[in-house]
Amino acid sequence: MIAIYLAPLYLLVCAYILFRSIHWIQVLHAVFQNVWVCRGIGLVYLFVVFSILIAFMAPDSGFRRFMKLLSNYWLGVLVYAIMTLGIADGVRLIIKYPLKNINFPGREILFSNVGTAVIGTVCAVIISVISIYGVINAGNIQTTKYEISVGKKAGKLKSLNVVLIADLHLGYNIGCRQMEQMAEKINAQNPDLVVVAGDIFDNEYEALDNPDRLAEILRGIHSKYGVYACYGNHDIQEKILAGFTFGGRAKKQSSVEMDEFLEKAGFTLLRDEYVLIDNAFYLYGRPDYERPGRGIEERKTAQEITDNMDLSLPVLVIDHEPRELQELADAGVDADLCGHTHDGQLFPGNITIKFLWENACGYLKKDNMHNIVTSGVGLFGPNMRVGTKSEICDIVMHFNS
């Protein structure tokens, strides 16, 4: 329902951008003053504006995939169009009214056609450069390294090389090309263990362009102890409209196809359960805090996680959202590995996200527990990253032997 209430605001913002853009291009060249040219530009613009709704309503097809991609790029451009035009017009209004009695060189030019052309061109360049950079940056997966010490013995292990990934969001934005790059970077770390902290899918299994090829690529990830995963809040089957979900009151959970895909990909899914690996350490996979999924009405508490464990051994937890850090530390967990936040994904989200989470991204020591939150491999919504990075995390854990 929130999407319905926000729709008028979205249309008003898009109308504002169209109005300012038409005003700008009309002073650039006389051809844009032709009413039919302006109408043609307006129709193309409306097609882009409504691509979100068209993609939502279209049946599964190549056309829908195209519209979904178009709408995801548009959402990213829209963010920076609003910011850039808003700042430019805000400054002009301040100069025009509150500071109207202050004279400075070039004041008259600022509000002339020449001034409009220059300011409009500068805004267009800024929006274009940021958007192009965001698209390129989103496709460049980086490796972030951590080194931590756990004050416990882990059998015969002196250290453990863990690669943490999260937020693949396989679907319209993320496909085979990104997964090939990710798998190559993971294997380059020669990991002992690979863990996937949720949001493997992007809500719709049908959005996977080539599931068999994707599963084959993911099967190519090599590690000594295998690949383990937990589900996140997007690992469910439901349709998305501009980031808002529509699924009725039925319990939201993964589709059978999603579960089968993970088996084909060689991922071991942990649903509120643990495994004891090599008699050396525990690995626990928590269901998502908001959407625990099939067969789980309420996930186990932090204390219940470790109740039946030998806490003289290291305890590693993968949890999609970085919540309940103190509770996990109190329960004897040694490392809590998370995703979910994307580090805000788009500036200024990378700044505001820090006010929402105790550890929005990166490393935090909570008593004796190490918490690491990755910004993730993939994307949700806008197909861009600005001020953040796509990453895998290579974590070397040293044990007290």
Question: H or E segment at 239?
Answer: strand 239-241
* Residue 357 main-chain phi, psi, to 5 deg: -135, 145
DSSP-assigned beta bridge partners for residue 61: none
Q: Which domain holds residue 79?
A: 2-136
Average pLDDT, the chain: 94
Confidence of residue 68 (pLDDT cuts 50, 70, 90): very high
Alpha helices by DSSP H, listed for 166-244, are 176-188, 211-219
Domain boundary among 136, 160, 175: 136
Query: What are the helix and strand counts (H, E) for the chain?
Result: 12, 14
| pLDDT score recorded for residue 238 | 87
Query: Does 236 lie in the same domain as 361?
Result: yes
Query: Does 53 lie in the same domain as 165?
Result: no
Query: Does 182 lie in the same domain as 90?
Result: no
Rounded CA separation 392/381 (Å): 20
- Beta carbons of 326 and 358 less than 8 angstroms apart: no
Query: Does 97 lie in the same domain as 162?
Result: no
Query: Does 204 lie in the same domain as 117?
Result: no
Query: Does 47 lie in the same domain as 113?
Result: yes
Domain boundary among 108, 136, 164: 136
Question: H or E segment at 315?
Answer: strand 315-318
Nearest CA to 391 out of 370, 351, 361 is that of 361
Domain boundary among 136, 161, 188: 136
Query: Does 241 lie in the same domain as 111?
Result: no
Rounded CA separation 275/109 (Å): 71
Nearest CA to 24 out of 157, 109, 142, 113 is that of 113
Query: Does 43 lie in the same domain as 162?
Result: no
Nearest CA to 107 out of 96, 121, 91 is that of 96
Burial of 311 (0-12, 13-18, 19+ CB in 10 A): middle
Confidence of residue 102 (pLDDT cuts 50, 70, 90): confident
Query: Does 170 lie in the same domain as 72?
Result: no
| pLDDT score recorded for residue 26 | 93
Both tokens assigned to 234: 């997007």
Domain with residue 180: its CATH number is 3.60.21.10
| pLDDT score recorded for residue 1 | 58
More confident call, 246 vs 164 = 164
Q: Which amino acid is at 147?
A: E
pLDDT in tens, 214-252: 999 999 999 999 999 999 999 999 887 776 666 566 788
Alpha helices by DSSP H, listed for 292-381, are 302-306, 325-330, 349-352
Query: Does 301 lie in the same domain as 199?
Result: yes
The total domain count for the chain is 2
pLDDT in tens, 287-336: 999 999 988 999 999 999 999 999 999 999 999 999 999 999 999 999 99
Nearest CA to 295 out of 270, 278, 275, 316 is that of 270
Query: Does 281 lie in the same domain as 392?
Result: yes
Query: Does 160 lie in the same domain as 298?
Result: yes
Task: State pTM to two decimals.
Answer: 0.94
More confident call, 105 vs 382 = 382
More confident call, 170 vs 110 = 170
